Amino acid sequence: MSDGRALAREFLEQQKLLGGNPVILPALPGGEMRDAGGVAPQPPAPAPPAATHPASRIPHPRLPPAGLSYDPPGGDLFSADPLQQAASLDAVATLVAACTKCRLCEGRRHTVPGEGPGDARLVVVGEGPGRVEDETGRPFVGQAGELLTKILAAIQLRREQVFICNVVKCRPPENRVPQYDEIAACLPYLFRQIDLLKPRAILAMGGTAAQTLLNTKQSLGALRNQIHRFRGIPVIVTYHPAALLRNPNWKKPTWDDVRIARRLLD
Ligand code: URA
């Protein structure tokens, strides 16, 4: 399934949900997505003055006003994108290993694409690799990872049954929060992984994972304890295990959240 148009539609719908008006798709790698957001699907209209209006901000008069259903007339804009051709999680990981789409590649020792079975029912999404993850190339293997393993055990899941990954696949320096352009560059990998996995549920741990998957700026507190959707897949939001290590008061709400996730799997 390498339908770039479906992907573009998804991005555009997400941008619309975000309240973006007009649609803006900034800072995506290679500019493909940006083009998808701004290029007219119909025969070209007179070119607007590009110097004063970035292409992505020009609402094209022939674009349908609502719904953002988008089918370019000729060919698939993204058919040359190797990520959309990646037919397995391993193939995605191989592309990640060679990725230089953002500055995080400069300081990494290993990429951390994520790991778990291809038929996992649950996908756990964290923020980004930490030190131990960067050293090993494996997600959630440091202290936060140990707590994650316990959290999963509390809902009768072994770590090996779950696909565990992060929003960004390379360690941000000093474990800082990934920046917007880093997330934007890396996000297609996560989206492709989720497309391939087709899980029953996604557990977004921490604000970065939640806000990225749900394309919102709402706080974690406002997002947790309910069921959201990403491309039709239920998303549960809860605290990041590293946050739990700092603040044990969040353990009880975290159990409540992961129990919701558990119910979605059964
Ligand atoms: N924190 C994360 O968000 N991800 C990891 O893989 C490890 C720690």
Q: What are the tens digits of pLDDT across the range 28-53?
A: 444 444 433 333 445 554 544 444 44
CB 244 within 8 A of CB 147: yes
CB 140 within 8 A of CB 148: yes
Confidence of residue 103 (pLDDT cuts 50, 70, 90): very high
Ligand 1 midpoint to CA 68 (Å): 34
Q: Is the pLDDT of residue 225 over 60?
A: yes
Q: Is the pLDDT of residue 203 over 50?
A: yes
**Closest Cα to residue 9, out of 61, 64, 88?**
64
Structure tokens given for 70: 């988008």
Please give the C-alpha separations between residue 250 and each of 58, 205, 245, in angstroms, as whole numbers. 44, 12, 9
- Angle value at C-alpha 38, between 36 and 42, nearest 5 degrees: 85
The pick from 111, 127, 174, 237 for probing ligand 1's pocket by mutation, whose C-beta has the most ligand atoms within 8 angstroms, reads 127
Residue 102's pLDDT is 98
Ligand 1 midpoint to CA 107 (Å): 17
Question: Mean of the per-residue pLDDT values for the chain?
Answer: 83
Q: What is the mean pLDDT of residues 114-138?
A: 98
54-68, 105-119, 212-226, 235-249: lowest mean pLDDT where?
A: 54-68
Q: Is domain 66-264 annotated with CATH 3.40.470.10? A: yes
Global pTM value: 0.71
**Domain limits, CATH 3.40.470.10, in the chain:** 66-264
Q: Is the pLDDT of residue 147 over 70?
A: yes
The pick from 96, 104, 133 for probing ligand 1's pocket by mutation, whose C-beta has the most ligand atoms within 8 angstroms, reads 133
Q: Pocket around ligand 1: residues whose beta carbon is below 6 Å from it?
A: 126-130, 133, 139-140, 142, 144-145, 166, 242
Residue 77's pLDDT is 57
Q: Which atom of ligand 1 is nearest to the CA of 165?
A: 6
CB 4 within 8 A of CB 79: yes
Ligand 1 midpoint to CA 127 (Å): 6
Ligand 1 midpoint to CA 53 (Å): 39
Rounded Cα distance between 60 and 72, Å, is 13
Structure tokens given for 99: 């990725």
Q: Which atom of ligand 1 is nearest to the CA of 127?
A: 3
